[in-house]
Structure 1
Amino acid sequence: MNNKCNLIRDILPLYVEDMVSTDTREFVSEHLEHCEACRAELEHMRKPADIIPNTDIVPLRRIKKELFIKRLQTVFLTAILACAIVTVIFGILTSPKFFSYSDDLFNVDSGADGSITIAFDNKVTGYSCMKEFNDETKTEIYQINAWTTTWDIYSSNRGKQNMVIPFDRETNVQIYYAQNDGSEDVLIYGINDNAYQDTVTLPRQIFLPYFMLAFLVLAILAVLRFLLKNKQAIIVWIDRSLLFPISYMAAHLCTKGISFTSYSSKRDFCIIVLVAMLFYFAMLTGISLYKAKKRTSQKNFED
Protein backbone atom coordinates (compact mmCIF):
# COMPACT_ATOMS: atom_id res chain seq x y z
CA MET A 1 0.00 0.00 0.00
CA ASN A 2 1.60 3.27 -1.15
CA ASN A 3 1.19 6.76 0.17
CA LYS A 4 -1.45 7.54 -2.47
CA CYS A 5 -3.69 4.73 -1.12
CA ASN A 6 -3.27 6.08 2.40
CA LEU A 7 -4.39 9.50 1.21
CA ILE A 8 -7.37 8.07 -0.66
CA ARG A 9 -8.47 6.05 2.37
CA ASP A 10 -8.34 9.18 4.51
CA ILE A 11 -10.63 10.87 2.00
CA LEU A 12 -13.02 7.92 1.52
CA PRO A 13 -15.30 8.72 4.51
CA LEU A 14 -15.92 12.18 3.05
CA TYR A 15 -16.26 10.68 -0.41
CA VAL A 16 -18.95 8.27 0.77
CA GLU A 17 -20.90 11.11 2.40
CA ASP A 18 -20.54 13.25 -0.76
CA MET A 19 -18.70 15.96 1.17
CA VAL A 20 -15.74 16.53 -1.25
CA SER A 21 -15.21 18.93 -4.09
CA THR A 22 -15.66 17.98 -7.72
CA ASP A 23 -11.92 17.81 -8.39
CA THR A 24 -11.34 15.62 -5.34
CA ARG A 25 -14.20 13.34 -6.34
CA GLU A 26 -12.72 12.87 -9.81
CA PHE A 27 -9.31 12.21 -8.29
CA VAL A 28 -10.67 9.54 -5.93
CA SER A 29 -12.85 7.96 -8.63
CA GLU A 30 -9.89 7.68 -11.01
CA HIS A 31 -7.81 5.98 -8.32
CA LEU A 32 -10.61 3.56 -7.42
CA GLU A 33 -10.81 2.40 -11.03
CA HIS A 34 -7.26 1.09 -10.83
CA CYS A 35 -6.92 0.11 -7.12
CA GLU A 36 -8.74 -3.01 -6.03
CA ALA A 37 -7.77 -2.62 -2.36
CA CYS A 38 -9.25 0.88 -2.13
CA ARG A 39 -12.42 -0.28 -3.93
CA ALA A 40 -12.80 -3.04 -1.35
CA GLU A 41 -12.39 -0.47 1.45
CA LEU A 42 -15.07 1.69 -0.21
CA GLU A 43 -17.51 -1.24 -0.40
CA HIS A 44 -16.86 -2.03 3.25
CA MET A 45 -17.69 1.53 4.21
CA ARG A 46 -20.92 1.46 2.23
CA LYS A 47 -22.19 -1.67 4.00
CA PRO A 48 -24.67 -0.99 6.83
CA ALA A 49 -22.93 -1.14 10.16
CA ASP A 50 -23.95 -3.85 12.59
CA ILE A 51 -25.82 -2.26 15.48
CA ILE A 52 -24.59 -3.48 18.81
CA PRO A 53 -27.46 -3.53 21.31
CA ASN A 54 -26.97 -1.16 24.17
CA THR A 55 -27.49 -3.11 27.35
CA ASP A 56 -28.07 0.15 29.24
CA ILE A 57 -31.46 0.56 27.51
CA VAL A 58 -33.06 -2.28 29.51
CA PRO A 59 -32.81 -0.63 32.94
CA LEU A 60 -33.84 2.69 31.41
CA ARG A 61 -36.98 1.10 30.00
CA ARG A 62 -37.72 -0.48 33.38
CA ILE A 63 -37.34 2.88 35.12
CA LYS A 64 -39.54 4.54 32.50
CA LYS A 65 -42.21 1.87 33.01
CA GLU A 66 -42.08 2.27 36.79
CA LEU A 67 -42.43 6.04 36.48
CA PHE A 68 -45.41 5.63 34.14
CA ILE A 69 -47.13 3.21 36.55
CA LYS A 70 -46.43 5.55 39.46
CA ARG A 71 -47.85 8.50 37.52
CA LEU A 72 -50.92 6.47 36.58
CA GLN A 73 -51.45 5.41 40.20
CA THR A 74 -51.16 9.01 41.36
CA VAL A 75 -53.80 10.12 38.86
CA PHE A 76 -56.03 7.20 39.89
CA LEU A 77 -55.64 8.05 43.59
CA THR A 78 -56.47 11.70 42.98
CA ALA A 79 -59.56 10.79 40.94
CA ILE A 80 -60.83 8.35 43.59
CA LEU A 81 -60.33 10.83 46.43
CA ALA A 82 -62.12 13.50 44.41
CA CYS A 83 -65.05 11.13 43.78
CA ALA A 84 -65.19 10.20 47.47
CA ILE A 85 -65.24 13.85 48.55
CA VAL A 86 -67.94 14.68 45.99
CA THR A 87 -70.03 11.69 47.14
CA VAL A 88 -69.75 12.69 50.81
CA ILE A 89 -70.72 16.29 50.01
CA PHE A 90 -73.60 15.07 47.84
CA GLY A 91 -74.81 12.80 50.64
CA ILE A 92 -74.77 15.65 53.15
CA LEU A 93 -76.48 18.12 50.80
CA THR A 94 -79.23 15.65 49.85
CA SER A 95 -79.88 14.40 53.39
CA PRO A 96 -83.66 14.72 54.04
CA LYS A 97 -84.83 17.45 56.42
CA PHE A 98 -88.24 16.20 57.55
CA PHE A 99 -91.10 18.62 58.18
CA SER A 100 -93.11 18.55 61.37
CA TYR A 101 -96.88 18.51 61.02
CA SER A 102 -98.60 21.82 60.32
CA ASP A 103 -101.96 22.75 58.82
CA ASP A 104 -100.39 24.51 55.85
CA LEU A 105 -97.98 21.68 54.98
CA PHE A 106 -100.48 19.90 52.70
CA ASN A 107 -104.14 19.68 51.66
CA VAL A 108 -106.11 16.43 51.62
CA ASP A 109 -109.01 16.26 49.12
CA SER A 110 -111.38 13.49 48.06
CA GLY A 111 -112.07 13.25 44.34
CA ALA A 112 -115.38 12.48 42.65
CA ASP A 113 -114.18 8.93 41.99
CA GLY A 114 -113.35 8.37 45.67
CA SER A 115 -109.59 8.77 45.25
CA ILE A 116 -107.65 10.78 47.83
CA THR A 117 -105.24 13.49 46.73
CA ILE A 118 -102.59 14.96 49.03
CA ALA A 119 -101.19 18.21 47.63
CA PHE A 120 -98.03 19.28 49.44
CA ASP A 121 -96.87 22.85 49.93
CA ASN A 122 -94.24 24.24 47.56
CA LYS A 123 -91.52 23.99 50.22
CA VAL A 124 -91.86 20.18 50.15
CA THR A 125 -89.47 18.66 47.60
CA GLY A 126 -89.94 14.98 48.44
CA TYR A 127 -92.15 12.53 50.30
CA SER A 128 -92.43 8.84 51.04
CA CYS A 129 -95.30 6.54 51.85
CA MET A 130 -95.53 3.20 53.67
CA LYS A 131 -98.62 1.06 53.41
CA GLU A 132 -99.97 -1.54 55.84
CA PHE A 133 -103.21 -3.53 55.86
CA ASN A 134 -105.25 -4.38 58.95
CA ASP A 135 -107.09 -7.64 58.27
CA GLU A 136 -109.37 -7.29 61.28
CA THR A 137 -110.81 -3.90 60.33
CA LYS A 138 -110.19 -4.20 56.57
CA THR A 139 -108.31 -0.93 56.68
CA GLU A 140 -105.46 0.31 54.55
CA ILE A 141 -103.13 2.33 56.75
CA TYR A 142 -100.74 4.81 55.10
CA GLN A 143 -97.84 6.52 56.81
CA ILE A 144 -96.47 9.46 54.89
CA ASN A 145 -93.78 12.03 55.53
CA ALA A 146 -92.42 15.04 53.70
CA TRP A 147 -88.99 16.58 53.45
CA THR A 148 -86.69 18.94 51.68
CA THR A 149 -82.89 19.00 51.34
CA THR A 150 -80.19 21.65 51.32
CA TRP A 151 -79.56 20.79 47.67
CA ASP A 152 -83.24 21.32 46.77
CA ILE A 153 -83.46 24.60 48.68
CA TYR A 154 -80.60 26.25 46.82
CA SER A 155 -80.28 24.54 43.45
CA SER A 156 -83.29 22.45 42.51
CA ASN A 157 -86.93 22.95 41.63
CA ARG A 158 -88.86 19.70 41.52
CA GLY A 159 -92.23 21.40 41.23
CA LYS A 160 -95.30 20.80 43.35
CA GLN A 161 -95.47 17.35 44.96
CA ASN A 162 -98.79 15.50 44.86
CA MET A 163 -99.77 12.04 46.06
CA VAL A 164 -102.89 10.11 44.95
CA ILE A 165 -104.40 7.10 46.77
CA PRO A 166 -106.89 5.19 44.56
CA PHE A 167 -110.38 4.40 45.80
CA ASP A 168 -111.24 0.85 46.93
CA ARG A 169 -114.83 0.05 47.94
CA GLU A 170 -113.89 -2.96 50.04
CA THR A 171 -111.43 -1.23 52.36
CA ASN A 172 -111.30 1.76 54.65
CA VAL A 173 -108.41 4.20 54.52
CA GLN A 174 -106.42 5.81 57.29
CA ILE A 175 -103.58 8.21 56.55
CA TYR A 176 -101.07 9.21 59.19
CA TYR A 177 -98.39 11.84 58.93
CA ALA A 178 -95.10 10.65 60.46
CA GLN A 179 -93.21 13.68 61.78
CA ASN A 180 -89.89 11.81 62.18
CA ASP A 181 -88.80 13.98 65.08
CA GLY A 182 -89.91 11.85 68.03
CA SER A 183 -93.43 13.30 68.03
CA GLU A 184 -96.61 11.27 67.64
CA ASP A 185 -97.92 10.44 64.18
CA VAL A 186 -100.90 12.61 63.20
CA LEU A 187 -104.09 11.19 61.67
CA ILE A 188 -104.84 13.37 58.61
CA TYR A 189 -107.53 11.26 56.94
CA GLY A 190 -109.97 8.55 58.05
CA ILE A 191 -111.80 7.60 61.23
CA ASN A 192 -109.76 7.32 64.42
CA ASP A 193 -110.40 3.80 65.76
CA ASN A 194 -107.67 4.14 68.44
CA ALA A 195 -105.76 1.25 66.88
CA TYR A 196 -102.78 3.48 66.08
CA GLN A 197 -103.34 6.15 68.66
CA ASP A 198 -100.18 7.63 70.22
CA THR A 199 -98.00 5.91 67.60
CA VAL A 200 -94.51 7.34 67.14
CA THR A 201 -92.39 6.52 64.09
CA LEU A 202 -88.87 5.89 65.34
CA PRO A 203 -85.63 5.93 63.31
CA ARG A 204 -84.01 2.62 62.50
CA GLN A 205 -80.85 1.58 64.38
CA ILE A 206 -79.56 -0.16 61.27
CA PHE A 207 -76.04 1.27 61.25
CA LEU A 208 -74.86 0.39 64.76
CA PRO A 209 -74.73 -3.42 64.14
CA TYR A 210 -72.85 -2.88 60.87
CA PHE A 211 -70.37 -0.51 62.51
CA MET A 212 -69.78 -2.92 65.41
CA LEU A 213 -69.37 -5.81 62.95
CA ALA A 214 -66.76 -3.83 61.01
CA PHE A 215 -64.93 -3.04 64.24
CA LEU A 216 -65.01 -6.72 65.28
CA VAL A 217 -63.64 -7.84 61.89
CA LEU A 218 -60.91 -5.21 62.17
CA ALA A 219 -59.91 -6.50 65.62
CA ILE A 220 -59.86 -10.15 64.46
CA LEU A 221 -57.74 -9.34 61.40
CA ALA A 222 -55.33 -7.29 63.52
CA VAL A 223 -54.86 -10.25 65.91
CA LEU A 224 -54.33 -12.63 62.97
CA ARG A 225 -51.75 -10.29 61.50
CA PHE A 226 -49.83 -10.27 64.76
CA LEU A 227 -49.94 -14.06 65.10
CA LEU A 228 -48.93 -14.66 61.47
CA LYS A 229 -46.38 -11.85 61.16
CA ASN A 230 -43.68 -14.24 59.89
CA LYS A 231 -45.77 -15.51 56.96
CA GLN A 232 -45.44 -12.78 54.38
CA ALA A 233 -47.70 -14.43 51.77
CA ILE A 234 -50.62 -14.40 54.21
CA ILE A 235 -49.77 -10.97 55.62
CA VAL A 236 -50.26 -9.42 52.18
CA TRP A 237 -53.87 -10.62 52.02
CA ILE A 238 -54.57 -9.73 55.64
CA ASP A 239 -53.35 -6.18 55.01
CA ARG A 240 -55.69 -5.88 52.04
CA SER A 241 -58.58 -7.28 54.05
CA LEU A 242 -57.93 -4.85 56.90
CA LEU A 243 -58.79 -2.01 54.56
CA PHE A 244 -62.42 -3.21 54.20
CA PRO A 245 -63.60 -2.54 57.79
CA ILE A 246 -61.44 0.58 58.00
CA SER A 247 -63.03 1.93 54.80
CA TYR A 248 -66.56 1.22 56.04
CA MET A 249 -66.03 2.89 59.42
CA ALA A 250 -64.35 5.90 57.81
CA ALA A 251 -67.22 6.21 55.30
CA HIS A 252 -69.79 6.05 58.11
CA LEU A 253 -68.02 8.76 60.13
CA CYS A 254 -67.72 10.98 57.05
CA THR A 255 -71.39 10.68 56.07
CA LYS A 256 -73.25 10.13 59.37
CA GLY A 257 -70.79 11.23 62.02
CA ILE A 258 -71.32 9.38 65.31
CA SER A 259 -75.03 8.92 64.65
CA PHE A 260 -76.29 5.38 63.99
CA THR A 261 -79.98 6.15 63.41
CA SER A 262 -81.76 7.06 60.21
CA TYR A 263 -85.26 7.71 58.92
CA SER A 264 -84.00 7.00 55.37
CA SER A 265 -81.85 3.94 56.03
CA LYS A 266 -81.71 2.54 52.48
CA ARG A 267 -80.48 5.80 51.01
CA ASP A 268 -77.93 6.39 53.76
CA PHE A 269 -76.64 2.82 53.60
CA CYS A 270 -76.12 3.01 49.82
CA ILE A 271 -74.12 6.23 50.19
CA ILE A 272 -71.99 4.75 52.99
CA VAL A 273 -71.20 1.65 50.93
CA LEU A 274 -70.31 3.74 47.86
CA VAL A 275 -67.98 5.99 49.86
CA ALA A 276 -66.47 2.92 51.56
CA MET A 277 -65.62 1.39 48.17
CA LEU A 278 -63.97 4.62 47.03
CA PHE A 279 -62.00 4.85 50.28
CA TYR A 280 -60.86 1.22 49.92
CA PHE A 281 -59.42 1.72 46.44
CA ALA A 282 -57.90 5.04 47.48
CA MET A 283 -56.11 3.47 50.45
CA LEU A 284 -55.00 0.49 48.37
CA THR A 285 -53.49 2.81 45.74
CA GLY A 286 -51.94 5.07 48.38
CA ILE A 287 -50.23 2.15 50.10
CA SER A 288 -48.88 0.93 46.76
CA LEU A 289 -47.43 4.38 46.04
CA TYR A 290 -45.91 4.57 49.52
CA LYS A 291 -44.22 1.17 49.12
CA ALA A 292 -42.87 2.12 45.69
CA LYS A 293 -41.45 5.37 47.07
CA LYS A 294 -39.93 3.51 50.02
CA ARG A 295 -38.24 0.99 47.69
CA THR A 296 -36.85 3.81 45.54
CA SER A 297 -35.48 5.65 48.57
CA GLN A 298 -33.90 2.48 49.92
CA LYS A 299 -32.30 1.72 46.55
CA ASN A 300 -30.90 5.21 46.26
CA PHE A 301 -29.50 4.94 49.76
CA GLU A 302 -27.78 1.64 48.94
CA ASP A 303 -26.30 3.09 45.74
Structure 2
Amino acid sequence: MKISCKVIEDILPLYVEEMVSEDTKKLVDEHIDSCESCRRKLNGMSLPVNLPLDTDTTAFKRVKAKMRKKKIQTVIFAIMMTISIIVALISTLTAREYIPYHEGLISFIESDDGTIIIKFSDQVAGYNISTSPSKIGEGYTYHITTWDSIWYRNIMKKSNKAAFLNLDGKKVDSVYYYNADRSEDILIYGKDQNPTGGMVTLPRLVLGYYLLLALFLASSSGILLYLYRKNERAKNILLKFFLLPISYITAHLLIKGFPVSSYSAMMDFVSILINAISLYIATISAMVIIRE
Protein backbone atom coordinates (compact mmCIF):
# COMPACT_ATOMS: atom_id res chain seq x y z
CA MET A 1 0.00 0.00 0.00
CA LYS A 2 1.42 3.36 -1.06
CA ILE A 3 1.46 5.90 1.78
CA SER A 4 1.89 9.60 1.08
CA CYS A 5 4.76 11.63 2.50
CA LYS A 6 2.28 13.85 4.36
CA VAL A 7 1.01 10.89 6.34
CA ILE A 8 4.56 9.73 7.08
CA GLU A 9 5.55 13.21 8.26
CA ASP A 10 2.64 13.15 10.71
CA ILE A 11 3.72 9.77 12.04
CA LEU A 12 7.47 10.49 12.23
CA PRO A 13 7.41 12.18 15.70
CA LEU A 14 5.68 9.12 17.16
CA TYR A 15 8.04 6.85 15.23
CA VAL A 16 11.09 8.56 16.65
CA GLU A 17 9.70 8.24 20.18
CA GLU A 18 8.89 4.56 19.49
CA MET A 19 5.24 5.11 20.24
CA VAL A 20 3.83 3.28 17.16
CA SER A 21 2.80 -0.32 16.66
CA GLU A 22 5.00 -2.86 14.85
CA ASP A 23 2.83 -2.74 11.73
CA THR A 24 3.04 1.04 11.55
CA LYS A 25 6.80 0.87 12.13
CA LYS A 26 7.22 -1.51 9.17
CA LEU A 27 5.20 0.80 6.93
CA VAL A 28 7.34 3.78 7.90
CA ASP A 29 10.57 1.79 7.41
CA GLU A 30 9.50 0.70 3.92
CA HIS A 31 8.59 4.27 3.00
CA ILE A 32 11.82 5.75 4.32
CA ASP A 33 13.90 3.20 2.40
CA SER A 34 12.40 4.49 -0.82
CA CYS A 35 11.91 8.21 0.00
CA GLU A 36 14.96 10.44 0.31
CA SER A 37 12.95 13.45 1.53
CA CYS A 38 11.33 11.61 4.44
CA ARG A 39 14.66 9.97 5.29
CA ARG A 40 16.28 13.40 5.65
CA LYS A 41 13.43 14.58 7.87
CA LEU A 42 13.83 11.48 10.04
CA ASN A 43 17.59 12.01 10.33
CA GLY A 44 16.99 15.62 11.34
CA MET A 45 14.54 14.57 14.02
CA SER A 46 16.85 11.86 15.33
CA LEU A 47 19.87 14.15 15.87
CA PRO A 48 20.35 15.23 19.51
CA VAL A 49 19.36 18.79 20.20
CA ASN A 50 22.21 20.69 21.83
CA LEU A 51 20.75 23.50 23.87
CA PRO A 52 23.21 26.32 24.52
CA LEU A 53 24.33 26.48 28.14
CA ASP A 54 23.71 29.75 29.93
CA THR A 55 27.20 30.63 31.09
CA ASP A 56 26.25 34.14 32.21
CA THR A 57 26.49 34.01 36.04
CA THR A 58 26.08 37.75 36.57
CA ALA A 59 22.53 37.46 37.88
CA PHE A 60 23.49 34.61 40.21
CA LYS A 61 26.46 36.56 41.55
CA ARG A 62 24.26 39.61 42.07
CA VAL A 63 21.73 37.61 44.10
CA LYS A 64 24.52 35.95 46.09
CA ALA A 65 26.14 39.31 46.87
CA LYS A 66 22.77 40.73 47.93
CA MET A 67 22.16 37.79 50.27
CA ARG A 68 25.66 38.14 51.74
CA LYS A 69 25.14 41.86 52.32
CA LYS A 70 21.80 41.22 54.00
CA LYS A 71 23.38 38.56 56.22
CA ILE A 72 26.18 40.94 57.25
CA GLN A 73 23.66 43.71 58.00
CA THR A 74 21.60 41.28 60.10
CA VAL A 75 24.70 40.29 62.10
CA ILE A 76 25.65 43.96 62.61
CA PHE A 77 22.09 44.76 63.74
CA ALA A 78 22.11 41.89 66.24
CA ILE A 79 25.54 42.84 67.63
CA MET A 80 24.71 46.54 68.02
CA MET A 81 21.37 45.83 69.70
CA THR A 82 23.11 43.40 72.05
CA ILE A 83 25.72 46.03 72.93
CA SER A 84 23.00 48.62 73.51
CA ILE A 85 21.06 46.30 75.82
CA ILE A 86 24.21 45.27 77.72
CA VAL A 87 25.31 48.90 78.22
CA ALA A 88 21.84 49.87 79.45
CA LEU A 89 21.78 46.87 81.79
CA ILE A 90 25.26 47.56 83.19
CA SER A 91 24.37 51.24 83.66
CA THR A 92 21.28 50.23 85.62
CA LEU A 93 23.14 47.71 87.79
CA THR A 94 26.03 50.08 88.52
CA ALA A 95 23.95 53.26 88.85
CA ARG A 96 25.23 55.19 91.84
CA GLU A 97 22.96 55.29 94.87
CA TYR A 98 24.53 58.05 96.95
CA ILE A 99 24.70 57.33 100.68
CA PRO A 100 23.55 60.06 103.11
CA TYR A 101 26.20 60.84 105.70
CA HIS A 102 25.86 59.19 109.09
CA GLU A 103 28.15 58.30 112.00
CA GLY A 104 30.49 55.43 111.18
CA LEU A 105 30.31 55.92 107.42
CA ILE A 106 33.78 57.51 107.32
CA SER A 107 36.63 57.53 109.85
CA PHE A 108 39.96 59.38 109.80
CA ILE A 109 43.42 58.15 110.80
CA GLU A 110 46.32 60.61 111.11
CA SER A 111 49.76 59.06 110.61
CA ASP A 112 52.98 60.35 112.18
CA ASP A 113 54.14 61.95 108.93
CA GLY A 114 50.95 64.01 108.64
CA THR A 115 49.26 61.82 106.07
CA ILE A 116 45.52 61.49 106.64
CA ILE A 117 43.89 58.16 105.83
CA ILE A 118 40.16 57.81 105.29
CA LYS A 119 38.50 54.46 106.01
CA PHE A 120 35.03 53.71 104.67
CA SER A 121 32.41 51.39 106.13
CA ASP A 122 31.29 48.14 104.47
CA GLN A 123 28.27 49.97 103.10
CA VAL A 124 30.44 51.92 100.65
CA ALA A 125 30.92 50.53 97.14
CA GLY A 126 32.68 53.58 95.71
CA TYR A 127 33.65 57.14 96.50
CA ASN A 128 34.70 60.39 94.90
CA ILE A 129 37.16 62.93 96.28
CA SER A 130 37.75 66.39 94.83
CA THR A 131 39.95 69.23 96.08
CA SER A 132 39.97 73.00 96.01
CA PRO A 133 42.26 75.63 97.57
CA SER A 134 41.39 76.54 101.14
CA LYS A 135 39.72 79.89 101.80
CA ILE A 136 41.15 80.28 105.31
CA GLY A 137 44.70 78.97 105.01
CA GLU A 138 47.41 77.64 102.75
CA GLY A 139 46.04 74.10 102.64
CA TYR A 140 43.25 72.46 100.68
CA THR A 141 39.60 71.66 101.14
CA TYR A 142 38.45 68.13 100.25
CA HIS A 143 34.93 67.20 99.16
CA ILE A 144 33.88 63.57 99.53
CA THR A 145 30.82 61.52 98.64
CA THR A 146 30.14 57.78 98.67
CA TRP A 147 27.69 55.47 96.94
CA ASP A 148 26.33 51.96 96.73
CA SER A 149 24.77 50.14 93.73
CA ILE A 150 22.66 47.11 92.85
CA TRP A 151 25.76 45.42 91.40
CA TYR A 152 27.90 45.76 94.53
CA ARG A 153 25.01 45.15 96.89
CA ASN A 154 23.80 41.90 95.29
CA ILE A 155 26.44 40.55 92.90
CA MET A 156 30.00 41.61 93.72
CA LYS A 157 31.18 41.42 97.29
CA LYS A 158 32.36 44.74 98.67
CA SER A 159 35.64 45.10 100.53
CA ASN A 160 36.76 47.68 103.03
CA LYS A 161 38.10 50.73 101.23
CA ALA A 162 40.60 53.33 102.29
CA ALA A 163 42.01 56.47 100.70
CA PHE A 164 45.00 58.71 101.38
CA LEU A 165 44.10 62.38 101.27
CA ASN A 166 47.48 64.08 101.11
CA LEU A 167 50.18 61.71 99.85
CA ASP A 168 51.47 64.64 97.79
CA GLY A 169 52.18 66.57 100.98
CA LYS A 170 49.26 68.98 100.72
CA LYS A 171 47.92 70.36 103.97
CA VAL A 172 44.36 69.30 104.75
CA ASP A 173 42.40 72.26 106.12
CA SER A 174 38.87 70.87 105.78
CA VAL A 175 36.98 67.80 104.63
CA TYR A 176 33.33 68.11 103.63
CA TYR A 177 30.85 65.36 102.80
CA TYR A 178 28.13 66.04 100.23
CA ASN A 179 25.01 63.87 100.02
CA ALA A 180 24.47 64.44 96.27
CA ASP A 181 20.93 65.66 96.92
CA ARG A 182 21.56 69.45 96.77
CA SER A 183 21.59 69.63 100.57
CA GLU A 184 24.25 71.56 102.48
CA ASP A 185 27.71 69.96 102.64
CA ILE A 186 28.65 68.54 106.05
CA LEU A 187 31.99 69.40 107.69
CA ILE A 188 33.46 66.09 108.91
CA TYR A 189 37.10 67.10 109.50
CA GLY A 190 39.10 70.29 110.06
CA LYS A 191 38.04 73.93 110.03
CA ASP A 192 34.80 75.35 108.67
CA GLN A 193 35.49 77.23 105.45
CA ASN A 194 32.21 79.13 105.67
CA PRO A 195 31.51 79.97 109.33
CA THR A 196 28.86 82.52 108.36
CA GLY A 197 27.07 80.37 105.81
CA GLY A 198 26.81 76.91 104.32
CA MET A 199 28.31 75.25 101.26
CA VAL A 200 26.44 73.16 98.66
CA THR A 201 28.02 70.90 96.04
CA LEU A 202 25.74 71.00 92.98
CA PRO A 203 25.44 68.40 90.21
CA ARG A 204 26.64 69.12 86.70
CA LEU A 205 24.06 70.11 84.08
CA VAL A 206 26.15 69.37 80.99
CA LEU A 207 23.99 66.36 80.05
CA GLY A 208 21.01 68.70 79.87
CA TYR A 209 22.84 70.92 77.38
CA TYR A 210 23.72 67.91 75.24
CA LEU A 211 20.09 66.75 75.35
CA LEU A 212 18.83 70.19 74.30
CA LEU A 213 21.33 70.22 71.43
CA ALA A 214 20.13 66.77 70.33
CA LEU A 215 16.49 67.92 70.46
CA PHE A 216 17.33 70.99 68.38
CA LEU A 217 19.20 68.93 65.77
CA ALA A 218 16.40 66.36 65.64
CA SER A 219 13.78 69.08 65.12
CA SER A 220 15.82 70.90 62.47
CA SER A 221 16.70 67.78 60.50
CA GLY A 222 13.10 66.54 60.86
CA ILE A 223 11.78 69.74 59.25
CA LEU A 224 14.35 69.51 56.43
CA LEU A 225 13.47 65.84 55.96
CA TYR A 226 9.82 66.79 55.48
CA LEU A 227 10.65 69.61 53.05
CA TYR A 228 12.91 67.39 50.90
CA ARG A 229 10.80 64.24 51.17
CA LYS A 230 10.35 64.07 47.36
CA ASN A 231 14.10 64.32 46.68
CA GLU A 232 15.28 60.75 47.16
CA ARG A 233 19.00 61.52 47.47
CA ALA A 234 18.52 64.42 49.90
CA LYS A 235 15.94 62.43 51.86
CA ASN A 236 18.37 59.53 52.41
CA ILE A 237 21.13 61.86 53.62
CA LEU A 238 18.81 63.82 55.92
CA LEU A 239 17.27 60.63 57.31
CA LYS A 240 20.68 59.32 58.37
CA PHE A 241 21.49 62.68 59.98
CA PHE A 242 18.07 62.78 61.69
CA LEU A 243 18.70 59.38 63.27
CA LEU A 244 21.89 60.62 65.01
CA PRO A 245 20.20 62.97 67.54
CA ILE A 246 17.24 60.58 67.82
CA SER A 247 19.65 57.80 68.83
CA TYR A 248 21.30 60.08 71.40
CA ILE A 249 17.93 61.10 72.89
CA THR A 250 16.84 57.46 73.10
CA ALA A 251 20.15 56.49 74.73
CA HIS A 252 19.81 59.31 77.28
CA LEU A 253 16.35 58.06 78.24
CA LEU A 254 17.65 54.49 78.54
CA ILE A 255 20.60 55.46 80.75
CA LYS A 256 19.34 58.45 82.74
CA GLY A 257 15.61 58.63 82.19
CA PHE A 258 14.28 62.20 82.24
CA PRO A 259 16.74 63.75 84.78
CA VAL A 260 19.50 65.80 83.17
CA SER A 261 21.62 66.71 86.21
CA SER A 262 24.35 64.34 87.34
CA TYR A 263 27.05 64.05 89.98
CA SER A 264 28.86 61.60 87.67
CA ALA A 265 28.40 63.38 84.35
CA MET A 266 31.45 61.94 82.58
CA MET A 267 30.57 58.32 83.35
CA ASP A 268 26.94 58.89 82.34
CA PHE A 269 27.95 60.64 79.12
CA VAL A 270 30.26 57.78 78.09
CA SER A 271 27.46 55.25 78.69
CA ILE A 272 24.98 57.39 76.73
CA LEU A 273 27.45 57.85 73.87
CA ILE A 274 28.22 54.12 73.54
CA ASN A 275 24.51 53.32 73.66
CA ALA A 276 23.69 56.02 71.09
CA ILE A 277 26.33 54.77 68.62
CA SER A 278 25.07 51.19 69.00
CA LEU A 279 21.45 52.24 68.48
CA TYR A 280 22.36 54.36 65.44
CA ILE A 281 24.28 51.57 63.68
CA ALA A 282 21.53 49.06 64.55
CA THR A 283 18.86 51.38 63.10
CA ILE A 284 20.80 51.94 59.86
CA SER A 285 21.33 48.17 59.51
CA ALA A 286 17.62 47.53 60.10
CA MET A 287 16.73 50.04 57.37
CA VAL A 288 19.03 48.30 54.89
CA ILE A 289 17.54 44.89 55.76
CA ILE A 290 13.96 46.17 55.33
CA ARG A 291 14.70 47.86 51.99
CA GLU A 292 16.20 44.71 50.55
> Normalising by structure 1, what TM-score?
0.74
Deviation at 1:236, TM superposition (A): 1.8
1:42-85 alpha-carbon deviations (Å, 9 max, x no partner): xxxxxxxx996524643223222212221221122111101100
8 Å Cα contact 1:138/1:172 also seen in 2: no
Deviation at 1:183, TM superposition (A): 2.2
Say which is worse superposed, 228-237 or 166-175, in terms of deviation: 166-175
**2:198 paired residue number:** 198
Trace 1:87-102 onto structure 2 (pairs within 5 A).
87-102=87-102
Deviation at 1:205, TM superposition (A): 1.8
Deviation at 1:169, TM superposition (A): 7.7
**2:144 paired residue number:** 144
**1:184 paired residue number:** 184
The residue type paired with residue 128 of structure 1 is N
Cα pair distance change 1:155/1:238, threshold 3 Å: same
Partner SS, residue 194 of structure 1 = coil
Unaligned stretches of 5+ in structure 2?
A: 1-49
Unaligned stretches of 5+ in structure 1?
A: 1-49, 293-303
Cα pair distance change 1:168/1:54, threshold 3 Å: closer
Determine what percentage of the aligned residue pairs are the same residue.
Answer: 27
Trace 1:1-303 onto structure 2 (pairs within 5 A).
53-55=53-55, 57-134=57-134, 137-166=137-166, 171-194=171-194, 197-292=197-292
The residue type paired with residue 155 of structure 2 is S
Distance 1:167 1:224 in 2: 57
Deviation at 1:103, TM superposition (A): 0.8
Partner SS, residue 81 of structure 1 = helix
The residue type paired with residue 73 of structure 1 is Q
Say which is worse superposed, 280-289 or 103-112, in terms of deviation: 103-112
Deviation at 1:259, TM superposition (A): 1.1
8 Å Cα contact 1:109/1:118 also seen in 2: yes
Question: What is the count of residue pairs matched by the alignment?
Answer: 243
Cα pair distance change 1:168/1:151, threshold 3 Å: closer
Distance 2:196 2:116 in 1: 20
1:100-135 alpha-carbon deviations (Å, 9 max, x no partner): 111111211211111111100012111111100036
8 Å Cα contact 1:138/1:170 also seen in 2: no
Cα pair distance change 1:214/1:196, threshold 3 Å: farther
The two structures, once aligned, show a CA RMSD in angstroms of 2.2
Distance 1:133 1:178 in 2: 17
**2:16 paired residue number:** none
Distance 1:220 1:213 in 2: 11
Distance 1:290 1:170 in 2: 62
